């Protein structure tokens, strides 16, 4: 046994490496990024693990590996699965040949995200098996097991992490690795070709297979039922919430029976056993009240008093904490007395000193001074911080790639000037598709691509198209080369850059301005060499 | 053995580097650890924290419950106060006094210091000036690690070993610089704590320890300084405030000052005694 200190993300990565994956696929996104980075760091020579253009591409690449009988990991942040939802849902119809495991790292509390969607619902929706580890050791072991389960049922399997597991380190013990599968392209072409006639058969099979998944979950030792004789209170605690339960119980003398839930579909018989032995049930789960809602049903007729997020005993938004679970169990407030003589100001994240985006925004704002109606649709990246003072330079942010589509829609509905601000990585992720339509229609809008040569927000990963390659790409999408301008965002170029913005805004057609300068943090990292963290 | 630690600061100050050193030292000592950290959007110059738990028994939660942290180590004064509710009743705040003013509404520094100085258990040191003296503004995290080292229940040699590991990719000079920052923090932190034990009022202790040179023999003069500042704070505090140089760590300095009656001596002469 090898003893290690790993992030939850890294434990998943090591589990996958030891499960004999041939490929690992991902697009950077907090809190999932460190899964792929770990594989790149320790197994680059053996496992294909470069970044994909987006999560959909990553999922499809993984699916291709599974098709040829080999094992693949695909990892992403929770909202990444929205991008990959099409291949994800349909991969439950095709099923998997080589083990296919999709890791979703959810972000309750929105530390670095635009929502706190709970992707356990996606597993339910696609009708696939899902593991939800409670700690780093389980993250390692369950990821390994997930590959076996995938091959056993010939279905993709989900591993669901949350930020506090993904980005928390702990000691783990690891076993020995397994070899990768032999190359064996599938012979089951009907299964892998989802023509309606084929898919109808497969969907029926998938529905029938659900019984087997439930049975596996029921028999899984991960779902530990602990009955404490005479306990009035029962607790169902899933994933990381189980840790908070154990922590809270160390501060409170309360006898409880509990069921630790780590797999889905839910182990129904164990739940029934727990419910029949107690008079009150508390459900603690990180994310949406999936378990609580399932138990209540529409008619709330489980026949037992259920407490949880839906009853208001636990907060229904934000991140779960050991304190919240402690209070839900009846614990009294434990807190150091805080009597500050001033109001603590919030300290929001901001653009780094010397950031090229800051210079892009100042020049852009100069140019827009004459256009009070102008709107700048922004995208997902460091530059979204341009919304905050002192810049206040962008006016929306929805999801990856939204800037270009929204600017086009708004322009076509009559907005002038309509601008989009997007980074080089996000552009390759899903800005290109929007731009191809704007080019075809020569929409009267101005797109600013902020090329800082990296996926900066997640730690400076390589991007698909930067520098000249990006210019060629924009040309290739059909944008008039006369209206593709490249500027260098520096304080000394402010006036000149503002003029470029003015000229292209004045042009009533599609313009693309590429504002190109390397991310200062990535540049420093490159010069100083590697860091331990 | 159980230590629940909250590390606090501003994105870019090196919270994760501090955590790395403590984690590795704890694990090499045979302890279990859990350490939750922040990446991504939450990091860019904003408030950053990490929950670090060390224990000889298994650790359940990755997050520390409120009212149970043994120590808060903060590289920025208001960032440490932000997590005060997590401190155990007998827990200690170990904090830098130098603010990062990257927000427009940074509170009045006197109030901030006043709140820190009135905490029952605390250590406050000027890590920024110590880091500069060690050779780089950026070494404030290692200064604070040094100041906390006596409270971690970990072998300081192990901490130093992992400071070496952390910075070795950047060369020997950077390693040395960070080890001096660690040593400076360790000495000044201990000096400050001893002054408080000697009964010196926190403000006087803070003034003295932020200006005294972080020499090796520093603690030898603590009792003399203690005597001087606990009995004659009113006389000396204004002088300490006014003195802009570095105070010599030699024991002769407080010894000489104890023998002086301030009214009879020229200020310049006192300054020259302070400078050693």
The Cα A146–Cα A125 span in angstroms is 18
pLDDT number for residue A1 = 54
Query: B62 and A170 in contact by Cβ < 8 A?
Result: yes
Q: Copy the structure tokens of residue B211.
A: 């200006």
Residue A530 has pLDDT above 70, yes or no: no
How far apart, in Å, are the Cα atoms of B102 and each of A11, A138, B45, B85, B130? 36, 40, 8, 24, 21
Nearest CA in chain B to A29: B40
Q: Does residue A261 belong to any structural domain of this protein? A: yes
A247 and A206 in a common domain: no
A84 and A139 in a common domain: yes
Phi first, then psi: give them for residue A314, nearest 5 degrees. -130, 150
A156 and A278 in a common domain: no
pLDDT number for residue A448 = 98
The Cα B28–Cα B32 span in angstroms is 10
Residue A531 has pLDDT above 60, yes or no: no
Phi first, then psi: give them for residue A422, nearest 5 degrees. -145, 150
Residue A516 has pLDDT above 90, yes or no: yes
How many independent structural domains does chain A possess? 3
Closest residue to A528, CB basis, from B44, B61, B170: B170
Which residues does chain B have within 8 Å of residue A334's beta carbon, measured at their own beta carbons? Answer: 65-68
SS3 A6: strand
pLDDT number for residue B232 = 84
The Cα A300–Cα A78 span in angstroms is 29
pLDDT number for residue B260 = 83
A507 and A370 in a common domain: yes
Q: Does residue A42 belong to any structural domain of this protein? A: yes
Which residues does chain B have within 8 Å of residue A30's beta carbon, measured at their own beta carbons? Answer: 39-42
- State the angle between helix axes of A196-219 and A268-277 in degrees (0 to 180), rounded to the nearest 10: 40
The Cα A32–Cα A8 span in angstroms is 10
Supply the CATH number for residue A254's domain: 3.40.50.920
Q: Among residues of chain A, what percentage have pLDDT more than 90?
A: 93
The Cα A449–Cα A515 span in angstroms is 6
Q: Give chain B as a DSSP string.
A: -EEEEEEEEETTS-HHHHHHHHHHHHHHTT-EEEEE---GGGGSSSEEEEEEEEESS----SSPPTT-EEEEEESSHHHHHHTGGGEEEEEEEEEE------STTPPPHHHHHHHHHTSSSEEEE-HHHHHHHHT-GGGHHHHHHHHHGGGTTS-HHHHHHHHHHHHGGG-HHHHHHHHHHHHHHHHHHHHHHHHHHTT--HHHHHHHHHHB---TTGGGGHHHHHHHHHHHHHHHHHHHHH--SPBP--THHHHHHHT--GGGS-HHHHHHHHT-
A173 and A64 in a common domain: yes
Least confident residue range of A26-30, A79-83, A521-525, B54-58: A521-525
Cα radius of gyration (chain B): 19
The interface pTM score, or ipTM, of the predicted complex is 0.93
Determine the length of chain B: 276
Q: Copy the structure tokens of residue B26.
A: 């704890």
Which residues does chain A have within 8 Å of residue B46's beta carbon, measured at their own beta carbons? Answer: 347-350
Per DSSP bridges, beta strands B87-96 and B69-74 are: parallel
A440 and A516 in a common domain: yes
Show which of A156, A179, A213 is a domain's final residue. A213
What is the per-residue pLDDT across A433-460, written as a single tens digit (0 to 9) for each? 999 999 999 999 999 999 999 999 998 9
**Is the separation of the CB atoms in A35 and A10 below 8 Å?**
yes
Of residues A436 and A530, more confidently modeled: A436
Confidence of residue A22 (pLDDT cuts 50, 70, 90): very high
Confidence of residue A123 (pLDDT cuts 50, 70, 90): very high
A269 and A141 in a common domain: no
**How far B155 CA lies from chain A's nearest CA (Å)?**
19
Of chain B residues 89-148, which have a CB less than 8 A from chain A? 89, 91, 102-108, 111-112, 114-115
Residue with the two structure tokens 């005993």: A313
Domain of residue A202: give its range: 2-213
Residue A532 has pLDDT above 70, yes or no: no
Kindly state the average pLDDT of the residues A404-430: 98
A392 and A305 in a common domain: no
Name the strand (E) or helix (H) holding A80: helix A80-83
Among the residues of A133-289, which ranges form H helices? 136-153, 163-166, 196-219, 241-249, 268-277
Of chain B residues 215-274, which have a CB less than 8 A from chain A? none
Query: B107 and A31 in contact by Cβ < 8 A?
Result: no
Supply the CATH number for residue A132's domain: 3.40.50.970
Show which of A278, A309, A328 is a domain's final residue. A328
Kindly state the average pLDDT of the residues A325-334: 94
Q: Give A101-153 as a DSSP string.
A: EEEEEE-TT-SSSS----THHHHHHHT-EEE--SSHHHHHHHHHHHHHHHHHH
Query: A344 and B107 in contact by Cβ < 8 A?
Result: yes
Please give the model's pTM, rounded to 2 decimal places. 0.95
Q: Does residue A349 belong to any structural domain of this protein? A: no
Which residues does chain B have within 8 Å of residue A528's beta carbon, measured at their own beta carbons? Answer: 169-170
Nearest CA in chain A to B18: A533
Kindly state the average pLDDT of the residues A32-59: 96
What is the per-residue pLDDT across A343-394, written as a single tens digit (0 to 9) for each? 999 998 889 999 999 999 999 999 999 999 999 999 999 999 999 989 999 9
Give the sheet arrangement for strand A418-423, strand by strand: A375-377, A418-423, A445-451, A510-516, A484-487
Residue with the two structure tokens 């006197």: B110
Chain B interface includes A176 (CB < 8 A):
no
Closest residue to A349, CB basis, from B35, B44, B87: B44
Closest Cα to residue A380, out of A7, A83, A109? A83
A260 and A203 in a common domain: no
Of chain A residues 310-349, which have a CB less than 8 A from chain B? 321-323, 326, 333-336, 338-349
Average pLDDT, chain A: 96
Q: Does residue A400 belong to any structural domain of this protein? A: yes
A186 and A110 in a common domain: yes
Residue A70 has pLDDT above 90, yes or no: yes
Closest residue to A167, CB basis, from B37, B64, B169: B37
Q: Does residue A397 belong to any structural domain of this protein? A: yes
pLDDT number for residue A200 = 97
The Cα A71–Cα A96 span in angstroms is 9
Q: Does residue A147 belong to any structural domain of this protein? A: yes
Kindly state the average pLDDT of the residues A401-426: 98
A324 and A374 in a common domain: no
Chain B interface includes A161 (CB < 8 A):
no
Of residues A431 and B259, more confidently modeled: A431
Closest residue to A533, CB basis, from B10, B20, B41: B20
Q: Does residue A340 belong to any structural domain of this protein? A: no
**Is the separation of the CB atoms in A426 and A465 below 8 Å?**
no
Which of B18, B42, B166 best probes binding to A when mutated, by most A CB atoms within 10 angstroms? B42
A56 and A204 in a common domain: yes
Residue A3 has pLDDT above 80, yes or no: no
Of chain B residues 49-68, which have a CB less than 8 A from chain A? 51, 59-68
Q: What stretches in chain B show pLDDT beneath 50?
A: none
Per DSSP bridges, beta strands A263-264 and A129-131 are: antiparallel
Show which of A168, A191, A213 is a domain's final residue. A213
Kindly state the average pLDDT of the residues A28-51: 96
Closest residue to A338, CB basis, from B32, B35, B85: B85
pLDDT number for residue B166 = 96
Query: B33 and A169 in contact by Cβ < 8 A?
Result: yes
pLDDT number for residue B40 = 67
Query: A351 and B88 in contact by Cβ < 8 A?
Result: no
Q: Does residue A155 belong to any structural domain of this protein? A: yes
């Amino acid at each position: 046994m090898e003893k290690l200190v790993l992030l939850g993300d890294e434990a998943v990565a090591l589990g996958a490496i030891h499960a004999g994956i041939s490929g690992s696929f991902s697009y950077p996104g907090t809190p999932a990024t460190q899964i792929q980075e770990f594989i790149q760091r320790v197994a680059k020579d053996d496992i294909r693990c470069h970044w994909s253009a987006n999560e959909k591409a990553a999922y499809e690449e993984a699916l291709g590996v599974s098709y040829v009988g080999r094992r693949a990991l695909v990892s992403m942040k929770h909202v990444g699965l929205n991008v990959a939802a099409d291949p994800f849902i349909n991969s439950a119809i095709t099923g998997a040949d080589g083990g296919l495991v999709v890791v979703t790292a959810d972000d309750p509390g929105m530390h670095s995200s635009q929502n706190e969607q709970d992707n356990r619902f996606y597993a339910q929706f696609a009708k696939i098996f899902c593991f939800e580890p409670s700690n780093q050791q389980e993250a390692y072991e369950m990821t390994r097991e997930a590959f076996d389960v995938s091959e056993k049922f010939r279905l993709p399997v989900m591993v669901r992490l949350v930020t506090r597991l993904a980005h928390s380190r702990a000691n783990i013990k690891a076993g020995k690795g397994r070899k990768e599968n032999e190359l064996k392209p599938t012979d089951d072409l009907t299964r892998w070709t989802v023509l309606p006639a084929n898919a109808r058969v497969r969907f029926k099979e998938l529905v029938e297979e659900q019984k087997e998944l439930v049975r596996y979950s029921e028999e899984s030792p991960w779902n530990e039922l602990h009955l404490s004789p005479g306990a009035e209170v029962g607790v169902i605690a899933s994933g990381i919430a189980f840790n908070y339960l154990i922590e809270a119980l160390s501060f409170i003398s309360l006898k409880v029976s509990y069921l630790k839930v780590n797999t889905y579909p839910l182990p129904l018989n164990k739940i029934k056993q727990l419910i029949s032995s107690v008079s009150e049930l508390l459900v603690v789960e990180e994310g949406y009240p999936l378990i609580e809602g399932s138990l209540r049903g529409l008619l709330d007729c489980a026949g037992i008093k259920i407490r949880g997020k839906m009853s208001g005993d636990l907060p229904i938004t934000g991140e779960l904490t050991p304190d919240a679970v402690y209070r839900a169990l009846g614990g009294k407030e434990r807190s150091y007395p805080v009597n500050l003589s001033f109001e603590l100001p919030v300290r929001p994240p901001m653009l780094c000193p010397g950031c090229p985006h800051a210079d892009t925004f100042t020049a852009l704002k100069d140019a827009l001074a004459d256009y009070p109606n102008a709107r700048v649709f922004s995208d997902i990246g460091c530059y979204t911080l341009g919304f905050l003072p002192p810049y206040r330079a962008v006016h929306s942010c929805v999801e990856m790639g939204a800037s270009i589509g929204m600017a086009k829609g708004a322009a076509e509905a009559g907005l002038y000037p309509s601008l989009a601000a997007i980074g080089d990585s996000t552009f390759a992720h899903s800005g290109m598709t929007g731009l191809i339509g704007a080019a075809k229609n020569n929409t009267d809008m101005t797109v600013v691509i902020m090329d800082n040569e990296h996926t900066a927000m997640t730690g400076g990963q390589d991007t698909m198209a930067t520098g000249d390659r990006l210019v060629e790409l924009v040309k290739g999408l059909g944008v008039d080369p006369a209206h593709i301008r490249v500027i260098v965002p520096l304080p000394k170029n402010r006036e000149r850059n503002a003029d470029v913005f003015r000229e292209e805004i004045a042009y009533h057609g599609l313009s693309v301005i590429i504002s190109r300068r390397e991310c200062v943090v990535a540049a420093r990292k490159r010069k100083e060499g590697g860091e331990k963290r | 053995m159980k230590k629940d630690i909250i590390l606090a600061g501003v994105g870019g100050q090196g919270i994760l580097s501090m955590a790395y050193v403590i984690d590795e030292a704890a694990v090499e000592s045979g302890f279990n650890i859990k350490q939750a950290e922040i990446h991504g959007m939450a990091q860019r110059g904003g408030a950053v924290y990490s929950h670090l738990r060390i224990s000889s028994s298994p650790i359940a939660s990755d997050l520390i419950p409120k009212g149970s942290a043994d120590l808060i180590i903060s590289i920025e004064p208001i960032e440490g106060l932000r997590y005060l509710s997590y401190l155990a009743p007998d827990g200690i705040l170990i904090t830098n006094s130098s603010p990062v003013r990257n927000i427009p509404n940074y509170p009045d520094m006197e109030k901030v210091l006043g709140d820190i100085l009135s905490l029952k258990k605390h250590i406050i040191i000027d890590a920024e000036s110590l880091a500069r003296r060690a050779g780089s503004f950026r070494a404030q995290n290692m200064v604070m690690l040094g100041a906390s080292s006596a409270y971690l229940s970990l072998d300081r040699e192990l901490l130093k070993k992992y400071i070496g590991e952390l910075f070795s990719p950047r060369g020997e000079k950077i390693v040395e610089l960070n080890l001096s920052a660690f040593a400076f923090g360790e000495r000044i932190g201990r000096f400050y704590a001893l002054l408080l034990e000697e009964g010196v009022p926190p403000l006087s202790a803070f003034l003295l320890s932020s200006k005294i040179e972080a020499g090796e023999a520093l603690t030898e003069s603590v009792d003399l300084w203690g005597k001087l500042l606990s009995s004659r704070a009113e006389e000396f505090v204004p002088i300490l405030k006014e003195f802009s140089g570095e105070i010599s760590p030699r024991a002769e300095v407080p010894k000489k000052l104890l023998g002086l009656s301030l009214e009879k001596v020229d200020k310049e002469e006192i300054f020259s005694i302070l400078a050693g």
